């Protein structure tokens, strides 16, 4: 839990970057914060801390709602598709490891109840899944930084 809090404290440095890519870093910070808060919220709710879990889930939605107001986004299909793809790749790479950390489970733990978990179990979880998460994070960050104008 302490590691996750430290990661969340690092995100504001991305939000206020003074580089020429500050809008891309802002988007990356919004996506990452929202995904991390959602995973923390779900983990807390499943661990019995329902009030804090609901608070984190609401904060996750609140962070996403700020997206159109604080980013400079052109209203094209390419921009929308890039944003959606980047968010999806980042979510695949980040959500489960953060959720498992909050729950006190091994980071690469896969449940067995949802359709998503059953589909992941069909992959080789030891080698393929962790590699897929790293690739997914790389693609999500690259999409945001290179095409998320």
Q: What is the pLDDT of residues 74-107, one digit of tens each?
A: 777 777 788 888 999 999 989 988 988 898 888 8
Cβ atoms of 84 and 101 within 8 Å: the answer is no
Q: Domain segments of the chain: what residues?
A: 2-147
What is the pLDDT at residue 125?
62
Cβ neighbours of residue 41 closer than 8 Å, sequence gap 6 or more = 52, 53, 54, 55, 56, 57, 58, 59, 60
What is the pLDDT at residue 119?
77
């Amino acid at each position: 839990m302490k590691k996750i809090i430290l990661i969340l404290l690092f995100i504001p440095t991305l939000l206020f970057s003074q580089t020429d890519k500050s809008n891309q870093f802002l988007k990356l910070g919004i996506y990452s914060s929202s995904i991390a808060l959602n995973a923390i919220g779900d983990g807390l709710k499943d661990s019995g801390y329902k009030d804090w879990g609901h608070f984190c889930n609401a904060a996750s939605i609140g962070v996403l709602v700020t997206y159109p107001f604080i980013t400079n986004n052109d209203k094209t299909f390419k921009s929308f598709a890039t944003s959606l793809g980047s968010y999806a790749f980042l979510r695949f790479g980040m959500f489960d490891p953060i959720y498992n950390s909050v729950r006190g489970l091994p980071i690469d733990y896969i449940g067995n109840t949802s359709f998503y978990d059953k589909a992941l179990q069909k992959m080789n979880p030891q080698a393929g899944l962790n590699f897929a998460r790293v690739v997914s994070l790389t693609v999500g960050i690259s999409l945001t930084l290179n095409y998320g104008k």
